[in-house]
Amino acid sequence: MTGSSDLSGSFFSKSVAGNTQASSILMPRTRFKYLRPQDIRNLETFEFAPKALVEGYLAGRHRSNSPGPSTEFRDYREYAPGDDPCRVDWRVFARSDRHYVRTYDLETNLNTTIFLDSSASMGFGGPLTKLEYASFFAACLCYLVTRRRDRVALHLFDTAIRAFSPPGSTTGHLHDLLNMLEHNHPGERTSTAAALDRAFPLLRERGVVVLVSDFLDDVSLLFHALNRYVHAGHKVYLFHILDPAELDLPKRGLTAFVDMETGERVVAHTEAIRRAQNQALRQHIEAIRTLAVRRNVSYVLARTDSSFLTLFGHFDESGETARFA
């Protein structure tokens, strides 16, 4: 992607009445860059529940009467780092000398994996860079998942997976994820397909996959990699993060553009290239949207000058996305 030297600078949810746990999952004295007290307050009426809405802050939404987490026992699975030790069945351990946790009907369907593009191009934008904007959204999503004691994993990638936290549901696990986001920074070139291919064997259970990126990458390779996730039964959501200056190149006269991933420098008059640049990006967006529809992958385009909380409202009860306006 090219950056100008002049320009640098619930979903899955339902509203819940009387939610007393909304602000208790974080220790009061703990402060995180990407999950601020006001964000926690804004999320108090939200709950993570697949194929429903994040309701309560959007006009015209109706409260769901769906029940909370199920207590009906389903099966055992082997303990994994990040699991709540309270879920370990110690009687099974006494017989087998191995740690197993009890799973329940609803829990088996709530495994969420977040892929966050941390390549160099995500460092573009202002006052929030694309990576900062995406990190706020990812942090809120991690919070919503773990508040229900459901499991969430986080992958930070550029040319490969740069950092990874396995699925977990505890408050300590959430703090680890927030610290990962806080210490993350734009890295090297983008290779989304390579990162997805590398991570696929790590997803042992079917669940929800959330990919947050500027998608300045080869579209055919991206969806070739996503095919494995779709065929394995994962529900895939793409959040396409772009700065307003990328969507509509400002008129700045003679400007030096620097590719943030290769360092290549080009000097051009913005009025001479603006129309072609804007059209090329629109075609790129439409190519992603078209392939997403064909593969039953949900797609949301987000501008960094909009509230990241509104991203949750782009899903309806059938799991389909609304077009970005």
Residues of the chain with CATH 3.40.50.410: 2-9+108-314
Cα–Cα dist 179/201, whole Å = 25
Higher pLDDT, 73 or 19: 73
Q: Averaged over 281-301, what is the pLDDT?
A: 95
Q: What pLDDT was estimated at residue 316?
A: 45
Burial of 164 (0-12, 13-18, 19+ CB in 10 A): middle
Residue 317: per-residue pLDDT? 40
Q: Which three-class secondary structure state does DSSP give residue 33?
A: coil
| Of the ranges 8-22, 48-62, 127-141, 268-282, the best mean pLDDT one | 127-141
Under DSSP, the state recorded for 296 is: T
Q: Are 122 and 192 in contact (CB under 8 A)?
A: no
Is the per-residue pLDDT at 320 higher than 70? no
Q: Please give the CATH architecture assigned to the domain spanning 2-9+108-314.
A: 3-Layer(aba) Sandwich (3.40)
Answer yes or no: is pLDDT of 294 > 80: yes
Q: How far is CA 320 from CA 47, 310, 317, in A?
A: 18, 15, 7
**Band (73; pLDDT cuts 50, 70, 90):** low
Reply yes or no on whether the pLDDT at 47 is more than 90: no
Residue 54 is predicted with a pLDDT of 28
Q: What is the pLDDT of residue 4?
A: 39
pLDDT single digits (tens) 159-216: 999 999 999 999 999 999 999 999 999 998 989 999 999 999 999 888 889 999 999 9
- Give the pLDDT confidence score for residue 232 in this predicted structure: 93
Q: What is the mean pLDDT of the chain?
A: 78
pLDDT per residue over 251-289, tens digit each?
A: 778 777 777 677 778 877 778 878 988 899 999 999 999
At 254 the pLDDT is: 79
Distance CA 181, CA 88 (A): 29
The DSSP code sequence of 110-153 is -EEEEEEE-SGGGG--SSS-HHHHHHHHHHHHHHHHHHTT-EEE
Confidence of residue 297 (pLDDT cuts 50, 70, 90): very high
Are the beta carbons of 164 and 94 closer than 8 angstroms? Answer: no
The pLDDT of residue 246 is 93
**Burial level of 220, CB count in 10 A (0-12/13-18/19+)?**
exposed
- Residue pair 154/114 in contact (Cβ under 8 Å)? The answer is yes
Residue 127 CA to residue 325 CA, distance in Å, equals 21
